[in-house]
Amino acid sequence: MAVKKRGKSLFIDFRPFREDRIGVKVNVDTKTEAKMIEASVLRACRSGDYGSLDSISRETCVRMFENQRWEIPSDLSGRILPTEELTLWKACEVFFKYPEIKQSRERERYLQCTVHLVKFFGKNRPVKGIWIPDIKHYVVKRIGDGASAATINREKGTLSKLYQVLVELQFVEANPCRLVKSLTQKTEERHAYLSLETVSTIAARCPTWYQPIIWTAYYTGMRRGEILGLTRKQVNPSNRIITLSPGDTKEVHWKRVPIHGDLVSILRAVLEGPSLLSGRVFPLRDAKGIRDLELESFKNVWPRACEALDLEEPHPRFHDLRHTWRTNARRSGMSDQIAESIMGHWFKGKSVNDRYGHVSDEELVQAIDRMTFDHGETKILVARSRSPKNGDKMDTNEGFKRKRSCGNMT
């Protein structure tokens, strides 16, 4: 057994069935991780038990069987071998059973996007019959539906990911999506700052169980997915640090987020509540009881609160809380290195000194304690390209205006 490096990739070189030595690529960064995968795959192959493999080892094992053109055990890949031409619907079944997709954090988004794809192309459309003009027609149709460029690009990206899986499984030979350019999103650029008054008003209009989620986003700058997946083991109110592993973040890096003093009591109250088997910090509480909070239940609460308050367009978005945190950090004088390490952008395009400069927990807590959270009125700028005379035009919602005047809220 051995781990070899070829170019920038790592390969394990071993005899999984005590026959000829074979090599297979592993999608990890270190030789230590590669050796662990090698041991897991070897144990599974020789015992015939593939159920205990983790997602990366399982994906490696599937790739090994595919490369060697061996028959894949049914409990390893969940692959569906079609007896007739592969339709889009069957391809979706293959896609969502593929190990990489089953474990993906984007799985929920893929599901949402495939609804539109299947509706347009049809369940029985052969995947080999979908080519570049068809995808361009889909883009035009979705533009006509009023979908944003970002939404259309995500849907096209999902179709591209589906074809990528089909290529790996040798069901198709090419991915046509790679030959279709994505739409520009510059005309949808958005700059937003939410005042403390705005956030407080929206939070008061939301259900009680949702309010701690808003304040966690407001005081930490964490992403929606990071907050929803947060477990009790990751939150330490005593040390005032939230620890996120590489699997919990978009950047796939460890991240430590300090807890502001005003947030400590909010999180303590949440943690004193009943614990679910999953250990999630923020459960869903409604008439049906207490259960894990999923994206579908979460995503409509904020927009409904804005609509109920009859706010002027463009409405604030939940993600604007992250933009607001970064603005508050800058206006409070927080160093860029600490602010970006908290947000999770620290390693992107940084120098060697920045990459290896360790920021301690104490520095993070001191920095968040010096931060203030009310630096002006609400302002939302959204770029549009609707006016033929003026080109791009900026729509502005300043001072948390409402369609109907209501006391001092104008």
Q: What CA dihedral angle connects 274, 280, 281 and 285, to 10 degrees?
A: -60
For residue 125, the enclosing domain spans 88-183
Within-domain flag for 140: yes
Q: By the 8 A CB rule, do 274 and 285 touch?
A: no
- Nearest Cα neighbor of 214 from 203, 198, 204 is 203
Average pLDDT of the chain, as a whole number: 84
Look at residue 400 in the predicted model and tell me its pLDDT. Answer: 42
Give the H/E segment covering residue 236: strand 235-236
pLDDT at 83: 46
Structural domain contains residue 37: yes
Which is nearest to 394 in space by CA: 377, 376, 379? 379
Residues 142 and 235 occupy one common structural domain = no
pLDDT per residue as tens digits for the range 230-249: 999 999 999 999 999 888 88
Residue 409 covered by a domain: no
- pLDDT at site 77: 60
* E strands in 101-209: 190-193
**Residue 258: is the preceding peptide bond cis (ω within 30°)?**
no
Q: How far apart are CA 119 and CA 159, in angstroms?
A: 13
Query: Same domain for 203 and 298?
Result: yes
Q: Is residue 274 part of a domain?
A: yes
Q: Are residues 217 and 309 in the same domain?
A: yes
Domain tally, the chain:
3
Backbone angles phi, psi at 82, to 5 degrees: -70, 140
Structure tokens at 403: 């369609």
Last residue of a domain, one of 44, 77, 110: 77
pTM: 0.63
Helices (H), 345-396: 352-356, 361-369
pLDDT band at 84; cut points 50, 70, 90? low
Q: Report the CATH number that the domain containing residue 139 is assigned in CATH.
A: 1.10.150
What percent of the chain has pLDDT above 90? 46
Q: What is the spatial distance between Cα 40 and Cα 4, in angstroms, rounded to a whole number?
A: 17
